[in-house]
Amino acid sequence: NTENGSQNVTESPGTLTGLMYGTTYGIAVAAVTDQGLSPYTGSLTVTTGQAGPGAPQISYVSTATTAMLTFTASGQYIPRIYCAYLTLTDISGVAQANQTESAQCNDSSVFNVTGLQEDSTYQLGGTVENTLGALSNRKTITLQTGTAAPSGPPLLITVKILNPTTVMISWSPPLVAERNGAINVYTLEFTTPSSPTPLTSLSTHTSTTFCPVQQGVPYNVSISSNNTQGAGPFSAPVAFIIPKGGPLLNTDTTTTSVTVNFTVADPPNVMRYCATVLLLAISGARQFGQREVQHCATNASVTIAGLLEDSSYQVVGELENMNGRPSNTTTTMVQTKTSAPTGPPLNITATVLYYSSGRLEWQPPALEDRNGMIAFYSIQVTSPTRPPQDIVTGTNVTSVVLTTLRHSTQYSVKITAYTAQGPGPSSSTLNFSTPILVIQTPIIFLSRGLSDSSLQVWWNAVNTSDANVTVTTYRVSVRRQTILQRTVELPATTAIIGNLSASTQYEIYIAAGTAYGFGSVSSSTNITTLDPGRVPQNPAAPSISLSATSTTLFARLILPDGVSPAGIVRYCVNFTRTQVSGVTSVLSSPVKCSTDISIRNDVEADAKYNVTAYYEQFGPIFSNHSIVHQGTSLPTTPGVPSAPQLLSVDATTISLIITPLPLLEHNGNLSGYRVEWVGATGPSFRTVGLTTLQPNITGLSPLTLYTARIAGVNQIGRGDYSFPLYVNTTRLPIVIQTPLIFFSRSLSDSSLQVWWKAVNTSYASVAVTSYRLRLGQNATVQHSVPANITTTVIGNLSSATNYQVYIEAETSRGYGPLSAAVNVSTLNTGEVFQSPGAPCIIWLGNSSVYIARFIIPAGVLPVGIVSYCVNLTRVEVSGGSGALPSVLQCSMEADAILNVEADATYNVTAYYEEYGEVFSSHSLAQRVTTSPAIPGTPSAPSLQSVDATTISLILAPLPLLEHNGNLTGYRVQWVGATGSSFRIVGLKTLQPNITGLSPLTPYTVRVAGINQVGPGNYSLPLYVNTTRELHAPRYNTTVNATWIRVDFVLPSPPANASNTLYCASFTRLSLSLVPSPLPSLQLCESRRMVTLTSVEEDATYNVTAWYIDDGRRMSPVTAPFTITTNPSRPAQLPAPNVTDIKSTQFTVSWSQLRLALRNGIINGYRVYYTVDNVTVPFHNVPSSARDANISSLVADKTYLVSVAAFGTGGVGPQSQLTSATTLPAAPLLSVRTTSDTIQINLITRRPAPMYCVEFTRVQVSGVKDAALPVEVCNTTSSVTRAGVHAYSLYDVRGWYINMLGVRSSTSTQRLVLTLASKPEAPSTPAVTFVNTTHAEAIWDMLNVTQRNGVLTGYRVLYSNGTQSVQVTLGMVTSFVIGPLQPSTNYTVILFGINVQMGIGLPSPPLKFTTLSIATSPVTVSTPAITGSNTPTTSIVVTSSSNIVIPTSLAFQLSSTQQPLPSSTLTILAI
């Protein structure tokens, strides 16, 4: 509400600059004159557009759990809301998948985000919303929090008995969220009832062994974790005991059998060894109620056959003594071997995320088809524009995001599941398409050749179909005869392209580029470079089309053919006045220029001008000036004369004196003056001639004040009036006004009707008492009617007769004058009165109000029309049903105003009514469609459901009559504590969700319709409060040999904890490292502890947890947590092989460990190499690899290489060492050339006994060659190849042999060019014929080795001793020398010419003597012409001499046709 500034503009419309983006302004306008400012207009409200997608810059300062963010907005707009979006990506180095994005917004550019996780990495995105509610692009950075001591204990502690005196303790790190940094060591405390003082042990791994353990003695173990910030809490103690008795079992499985090997610490008197198996699961599907199978043997190895493939079994081993009493039992789990899947992945879906990304999701093969744990999935993605792409996923991954897609493209996907035994069948093909992104095609609007080697092109800037995707560059393609010459990319809309060939036509194409690729290329424009040395010519002059008004002369430029308006910067015109109102008056105006092709000049009325014009193109380049055109301004009304003077006055007449108007005020052909007078009854006027300078004003009222004015009149009309003369008339006797008949009509063949205006007298006391009508001026009175009636019907008349009707007013003092006559004809005998003709209608209006403008037929007087009527019948509304019965609307005005609905279609007819209740015919029916308007106001949305972060709505569809156009959807707006947001939903989305909300927050929700005009008004609000947010629980786990317990530690207790259920899901993955999945088992308890009993030993489980609060709402489920035991490390690998040795790399390969030596799952291999007594771990390679390429090595070094396998149990021992020595490093090559030598200097780290270079010639004098390579070796580092050809290209390869006789790597330098030299001497020319005046010389073409450069031709020198002539030829091998002198000795010398060095060495001379002229006369026959009407005519000429022959013919062409036919005369041969 304060004035921000003002700007002056010289014409309307005007442009205001320097405004802010996204800002609402009030704009008022005042006129500026030499006297100051006029008052301002009312304020116009204008809102500028947003700046476009400019992402903000973000910086931060973090602690362990908070971060202070600082936003810096980019672009010119007013920020309103700053929003930060955080997605947790890893905690203490552990990747976090499928994390929910959280948002925090603030109206300040600096604010804190809290509640972060210690030692965690977040993906931080930031946006800025401006005052218009438009969002910027998102800026994404990485945010890292600080560390703290662990806040939770290690989890999932398990104890496995390895032998009668040793156990293995295994555990998992604390919850990722509780590590608060990288764990570097674990502390274990062991206690027994007899030894309460803990025995402490440290471990850097998550497993360790403990021994000796006393059998039958109970132990407790607790573990804490440590990082750089300190120690965390100890876990709850876990009890274990090695029972006395009971065998130890080792198992070995095949696909259908299991062998159980018994080991007894203190062997009793064993009679039999018995093993019992129970089927638990088939391919991970739990089996219930299965029958046990028992086998016994007298030895310590029992085999049970007939088992199922890929199945889990419980094995119980026991011993029987001689008395038949069994020992303690020992239980273990086994898994039979697996095979490849027999079924494909299922339920594949694709969700397109953006133009270049999409998410694939699927389900594993059917349980009966998996045949084991799925190791990974292979995804094959194909499209019409790319080769197939294979993507490999992890074990439990059933979704993947594709990030390198291309917009507007269809893709096909097939997925294959793999187990450890190989692949299964592929899924059926799924097709999906990325969204269509339309990138507009540029239009080349101007191009020209700048010189003989360059051209310039201009094009228009374009956009895309998505406002968030901008065009960032343009690609200019230059083609010559469809062959691509070069491509240029630049962000501008004009380009200069150089280094082109002269006089050559090129095709130019333009394509617009975005971050997602380029759009379609434009139509081509052909541009030709100029001829060599030619200077660009000015464009041709325009012609001019002139038009004029009385004050303005318009010059419209007409461009020459081939000149595009798109390339023109401005148009310029020069106006010179030559005459005004028929009088010579020369005046030159300044040149006027404009971007509009029409230019105006303010001129005098009735004046003549000489006009020339030119235009300016981009460059700048100015055209030639046009020829002179003559234009004449139109005349206008005359100027203002002086006030009239009074000559005389009486009661009814005023006599005036007029002063003539000056010539310059005539403004045309002045024909006279208009005299106006204004009295009590209103204004009147009369027109007088130029000579009538003393006019009389008559018929005035007595005793009345009159104002008299005059104005000039010319062919245009009346000018402005002069200042008035005020005159009072004298007194006059009473005057009775004359009636005016304004409408009349024939009613039949014997009657007619007339209407007239009522009149008064000059005195109010004397009233009109009646009216008398006469048929003819002197006829008797036909009718007399009272004064209150102004129409009458006259009957008993003759048919087909014209009557003159007069009327006069009667008073108590007599009759007034007769009115003017009105001619009315009765109808012909028997003729019936016809209704007036139908009107025509012109429709004007907008979305809610239409005007029907009546055009009445010719001959119908508007003064006789009483009303104008329109009949409206609504057909449809907004493209849907909506018919209504007809509605009649009438008006007394010819512009009838009609009330209509927006975007509605009507059938319309019209008619009018004349005096006497006479109705016209109806017009033809027309169909009229009104303009659309913004939609009406919808009902307030209804609430469907609400939780902590989501509101689900129910929208009532907008009634059809409220669409007001093509309704496309609804705009849903919500306002909370952090500001307002909105989303657009389609017409079918009547139950939209609002997500990403804050818990326990009040929100106001409104909805508005959207059609092609824009959004309508918002509905009444719906007020909603979000609920409390439920977080996934935290929990601790305690593990025993036979049970798993989950203890819940909730972030905050539910409102009514007594009614809360605590739930956990347990999913078995494997037994003793063998995949053995079982379906999940879910348990729920009313207390904060859930225990799974009867679990198997040495088993791996996934555990998740959640709770259900008293409102029966389920909290988020925790991420799965794996509890697993550790296997032992792999055995030692055999010594590796080293191959493909180079100076800086070699390849290491190794054989695979036998299954029995792997000791678990092999996750990969680690390659080590030792150099100079330093061992360096190279890198890890996947388990499927059997070799690795070792690069970045030092040349000429001996390396000791070993390999180790690693798995879930750790890294195995390194293999035996293999020795490998890298090759010496390749030398650097330094090249020097002459015309016949190439010298190569080989630069090495240390001297070598032998240096070698291989030379291969690939081109000679610009001609391709394929010579065999030549190898040259030397004991010095400089190797020279002599005898090479001048101006030749060689490929050079260099190496050396070191002191140990090892050849180094090779360096290659391509296309070494020798220097050019003069061409060698050609061979001696020869003569093919000689006569008196001419001789022909021929010679051999120089071969490529003689040219010493690019040969362009030859120079011939011939001389007779007194006169020499030089002729330069092209690539020819003969030349006719002449004219020569008869009987004369000549010498001819030939030189070759190349591009690089010019003229070469001379050839040996050729000498010859011309023949003598014959002494006898020579006769030549008359030419004999043969052939007629044929393209070729033979002409035969004979000579009497064999020395003198015809060398030319003269022709004369004549024809009886005029003009001569087009003919070409070519001598084909002589």
**Could you tell me if 548 and 599 are in contact, meaning their C-beta atoms sit under 8 angstroms apart?**
no
> What would the pLDDT profile of 577-608 be if each residue is shown by its tens digit?
888 877 788 888 788 898 888 888 888 888 89
* DSSP per residue, 677-706: EEETTEEEEEEEETT--S-EE-SPPTT-EE
- Asked whether residue 1465 carries a pLDDT value surpassing 80, the answer given is no
The two most distant CA atoms of the chain are separated, in Å, by: 167
CB within 8 Å of 1323: residues ≥ 6 apart: 1339, 1340, 1403, 1404
pLDDT for the residue 674: 93
**Mean pLDDT (whole number) for 1117-1122:** 86
Residue type, 950: T
Q: pLDDT tens for residues 283-338?
A: 666 776 677 788 888 888 899 988 877 778 888 887 776 544 445 677 777 888 77
Report the Cα–Cα distance between both ends of the chain, in Å, rounded. 99
Contact indicator for 215, 164 with CB cutoff of 8 Å: yes
Band of the pLDDT at 993, cuts 50, 70, 90? very high
pLDDT band at 926 (very low <50, low <70, confident <90, very high): confident
User: Which pLDDT value is given to residue 284?
Assistant: 64
Predicted model pTM: 0.30
Q: What pLDDT shows up at residue 658?
A: 93
Q: What percentage of the chain exceeds 90 in pLDDT?
A: 17
Q: What percent of the chain has pLDDT over 70?
A: 89
Q: What is the mean pLDDT of residues 551-577?
A: 87
Strands 568-580 and 696-697, sheet pairing: unpaired
Statement: residue 858 has pLDDT above 90? no
Sequence-ordered list of residues with C-beta below 8 angstroms from that of 360, at least 6 positions apart, any chain: 348, 349, 350, 379, 399, 400, 401, 402, 413, 415
- pLDDT (average), residues 1066-1091: 82
Q: What local confidence, expressed as pLDDT, does residue 1416 receive?
A: 47
Q: Which residues 6+ apart lie within 8 Å of 913 measured at CB?
A: 865, 866, 867, 869, 919, 920
* Average pLDDT over every residue of 1343-1355: 88
Element (H, E) at 1008: strand 1002-1011
pLDDT tens profile 770-794: 998 888 867 776 778 888 888 888 8
Higher pLDDT, 949 or 47: 949
Asked if residue 1396 lies in contact with residue 1349, where contact means CB atoms within 8 angstroms, the answer is: yes
Summarize pLDDT for 1220-1235 with one digit per residue, the tens: 888 888 888 888 888 8
Greater confidence (241 vs 988) lies with: 988
- Residue 1065 pLDDT more than 60? yes
Which pLDDT band holds residue 1387 (cuts at 50, 70, 90)?
very high
Higher pLDDT, 762 or 809: 809
Q: Which of 210-224, 641-655, 802-816 has the lowest mean pLDDT?
A: 210-224
pLDDT in tens, 369-407: 777 777 778 888 898 877 787 777 766 778 888 877 888
Give the mean model confidence (pLDDT) for residues 527-549: 87
Which tokens in the block code for residue 548? 């004029």
* Average model confidence (pLDDT) across the chain: 83
Secondary structure, 3-state, 709-739 = EEEEEECCCECCCCCCEEEECCCCCCCECCC
Query: What pLDDT is attached to residue 82?
Result: 85
Give 1162's pLDDT tier (boundaries 50, 70, 90): confident
| Average pLDDT of the residues in 625-631 | 89
C-alpha span between 355 and 666 (Å, rounded): 72
Q: What is the pLDDT of residues 229-244, one digit of tens each?
A: 888 999 888 887 765 6
**pLDDT of 1108 higher than 90:** no
Identity of the amino acid at 407: H
Neighbours of 1266 (CB within 10 A): 8
Amino acid (one-letter) located at 975: V
Instruction: Assess whether pLDDT exceeds 90 at residue 1137.
Output: yes
279 and 290 Cβ atoms separated by less than 8 Å: yes
Q: Is the pLDDT of residue 919 over 60?
A: yes
CA 14 – CA 28 distance, rounded (Å):
12
| pLDDT > 60? residue 1459 | no
Residue 509 pLDDT > 90, yes or no?
yes
Identify the pLDDT of residue 1388.
93
Paired tokens of 519:
């759009």
Asked if residue 938 lies in contact with residue 1019, where contact means CB atoms within 8 angstroms, the answer is: yes
The answer to whether 297 and 273 have CB atoms below 8 angstroms apart is yes
Asked whether the beta carbons of 1185 and 1165 are under 8 A apart, the reply is yes
How confident is the model over 140-181, as pLDDT tens digits? 899 988 888 888 888 878 877 666 677 788 888 887 778 888
Asked if 402 and 381 touch (Cβ cutoff 8 Å), the reply is yes
Binning pLDDT at 50, 70 and 90, where does residue 415 land? very high
pLDDT higher than threshold 50 for residue 1391: yes
What is residue 45's predicted lDDT score, i.e. its pLDDT? 82
Nearest to 1185 by CA among 1160, 1209, 1203: 1203
370 vs 1439, more confident: 370
Q: Per residue in 35-68, pLDDT tens? A: 777 887 777 888 776 555 578 888 888 888 889 8
- pLDDT, residue 506, reads 92
Q: Is 787 exposed, middle or buried (0-12, 13-18, 19+ CB in 10 A)?
A: middle
- Alpha-carbon dihedral 463, 465, 468, 471, rounded to 10 degrees: -30
Q: Average pLDDT for residues 449-453, to the nearest whole number?
A: 85
Rounded mean pLDDT of 709-723?
A: 91
